[in-house]
Amino acid sequence: MQGGESSVLVLEYKAKGNKAQYQAIESAIETTQFIRNKCLRYWIDSSRENNINNAAISRYSTVLRADFPFVAALNSMDGGLTRKKMSQPLFC
């Protein structure tokens, strides 16, 4: 790579599962997209004086968990790590 170029790693896989497993994967993907979109909208709508950074987005994702039961369900197995990880790409 030359200066200023970046690379993207793409992972592809074939999963074999039953209908319920595929639905669970789709639900997790939709919830992840919802969290990212809500955090992005929060960042866009905030004024510069609010200084929205990684910590503020993480706190906002906690608010989303309280407001939307399906967001809380995504985190029930990992102590909230998924929700926090889904909001972090905004500042990478």
pTM of the model: 0.65
Residue 13 amino acid letter: Y
Separation of alpha carbons 19 and 40, rounded Å: 32
Separation of alpha carbons 35 and 24, rounded Å: 16
User: What is the Rg, in whole angstroms, of the alpha carbon atoms belonging to the chain?
Assistant: 16
Question: What pLDDT does 88 receive?
Answer: 59
Question: Residue 61's domain spans which residues?
Answer: 19-91
Any domain includes 1? no
Domain count, the chain: 1
Whether 39 contacts 90, CB under 8 Å: yes
Which has more confidence, 73 or 90?
A: 73
In residues, how long is the chain?
92
Question: What pLDDT does 82 receive?
Answer: 58
- Compute the average pLDDT of residues 9-22: 83
Any domain includes 4? no
77 has pLDDT over 70: no
Any domain includes 9? no
Mean pLDDT of the chain: 77
Any domain includes 7? no
Any domain includes 5? no
Question: What pLDDT does 89 receive?
Answer: 57
Any domain includes 8? no
